[in-house]
Structure 1
């Protein structure tokens, strides 16, 4: 009769053990310290997120530093400048034009000179005056051709300086470290080209002046010849 009672007690204990195991919290105690796996996992996740935020902030600071360095390079001025040489060359050409002989590059002077030697009374006055005016016109033409040749010589002399300036600027543009240096080098190269165009305009003006004065001299000589022929025939 005792065996059934013992068996029932064992069954009761066996049934109670799983329930006790399920009801126990997921904790462990080691050396008096309670370890909670769920809390530990949460702490690790929080630490990982914090580390990721710190890494992102470091990357942002690095990007900002790189951007500032690039901006500094872009704002760095070109270490060379050919402006002084260009201005000196332009001034030399302007000075050569300013040395125009007999008739200057001036509207008032041109009107006065043509009125005195190339038309009107200058072609119909006394014989001595006609001879003097013809000689003055010849001197105007000779001086104009001389002026044109001096301007040409001065501009040819600038070719060496132009080559040197372009070499310096092209070298500087190739070694430029930022956008500002590239832009400044390009602007200076454009300035060299502008000076070359100014030289070309000066040559064209000097040559045109000489040709126009020679053509005016020929026209005046023709008109003067008709006047002399009229006088030779005794016309009024």
Structure 2
């Protein structure tokens, strides 16, 4: 029994599709089914082209995803820190400066210090009349008492700042640990540095106030010693 022509064409197409590259190149097989010509070599080329096109599309999708991720990261890096301790720090510094500005009798001013020392601590102040010497001695005592009181006020103000400082540290450390970008982390670090500067300013104020009190007390003792010598000289002269 003879095979029909359609069976022969299908068999030829199957053999052509399974043939090796050399067979395809040397003698490309053509099949015609229902009036449509099938070229296995052209079909394989189309498949390869479609695969390459799909790969290019996948690569473009990955590039777009990477660009989107990069933009999101840039957005996070540009995000500003939602918290700020600047006002609290400025208020603490202003309070300390106010306490220093309220210094009694001899202020933290070079001209004021010079005038007070010329008036009560040296020269004619130690060799005037008995009444003037008594008045100057009382003035020096009041300078020392006022300076020690000022130092204690400054110290009390700085101690009072510790509670606010602790809250600021906690808030800034939390903000730094939860920073979502480089800008937020940098801003948190800058505010921590500002807080440290404020603490150094408080420490400087305390040292200055304490040093002022100590210096005035030392000056009072020196003036009292000089005044005592003058009184002794006058006593011997009277004899």
Shorter-chain TM-score tier? 0.7 to 0.9
The aligned residue for residue 212 of structure 1 is 215
Moved over 4 A (4+): none
Q: Which has the larger radius of gyration?
A: 1
Distance 1:224 1:31, change over 3 A: same
The aligned residue for residue 141 of structure 1 is 144
Structure 2: runs of 5+ lacking an equivalent: 1-25
The superposition leaves residues 51-106 of structure 1 with CA deviations (integer Å, 9 ceiling, x where unpaired) of 11110000000000001001101111111111001100100000000000000000
The aligned residue for residue 119 of structure 1 is 122
Correspondence 1:201 to 2:204: yes
How many aligned positions are there? 213
The aligned residue for residue 169 of structure 1 is 172
Give the superposition deviation at 1:177.
Answer: 1.2
- Corresponding residue SS for 1:42: helix
The aligned residue for residue 83 of structure 1 is 86
The aligned residue for residue 181 of structure 1 is 184
The aligned residue for residue 112 of structure 2 is 109
- Corresponding residue SS for 2:37: strand
How far apart, CA to CA, are the structure 1 residues paired with 2:31 and 2:225? Answer: 129
What does 1:3-152 correspond to in 2, within 5 Å?
25-152=28-155
TM-score (norm 1): 0.88
Distance 1:48 1:25, change over 3 A: closer
Distance 1:139 1:25, change over 3 A: closer
- Corresponding residue SS for 1:29: strand
Decide whether the 8 Å contact of 2:28 with 2:40 is kept in 1.
no
The superposition leaves residues 192-216 of structure 1 with CA deviations (integer Å, 9 ceiling, x where unpaired) of 1111110000000000000000000
TM-score (norm 2): 0.87
